[in-house]
Amino acid sequence: VCVCGFLFFNRQHTSLDVTLPEPIPLDHPLLKLPNCVIFPHIGSASQATRERMAALAVANLMAAVCGQDMPHKIC
């Protein structure tokens, strides 16, 4: 709601890749703003990003199979 007010009153433009909740409800105020574009969670869709994500996954898998700590664990 705070972002909606800012965009409405300040007439700034933005694009969003992530919303909460996701997917955004069809009646959400952000969808009514002409200065806001919401993408379907595609921020990581570039070829370079996908290749890096695959390399990180392989490094984690190889470490786990070898009984080592995963180098790129999330938590």
* Catalytic status, residue 13: no
Position 1 scores a pLDDT of 53
Q: Which residue has the higher pLDDT, 73 or 68?
A: 68
The catalytic residue among 13, 28, 41, 72 is 41
Helical ranges in 17-75 per DSSP H: 47-65
> Tokens 């938590």 appear where?
75
pLDDT tens digits for range 12-46 = 788 788 888 888 899 988 888 888 888 877 777 78
In this prediction, residue 75 carries a pLDDT of 67
Strands 36-38 and 14-16 turn out to be: parallel
pLDDT at 52 over 80: yes
Identify any residues that bridge with 37 across adjacent strands, giving them in sequence order: 15
Tell me the percentage of the chain whose pLDDT exceeds 70: 97
More confidently predicted of 34 and 7: 34
- Judged on CB neighbours under 10 Å (0-12, 13-18, 19+), 33 is middle
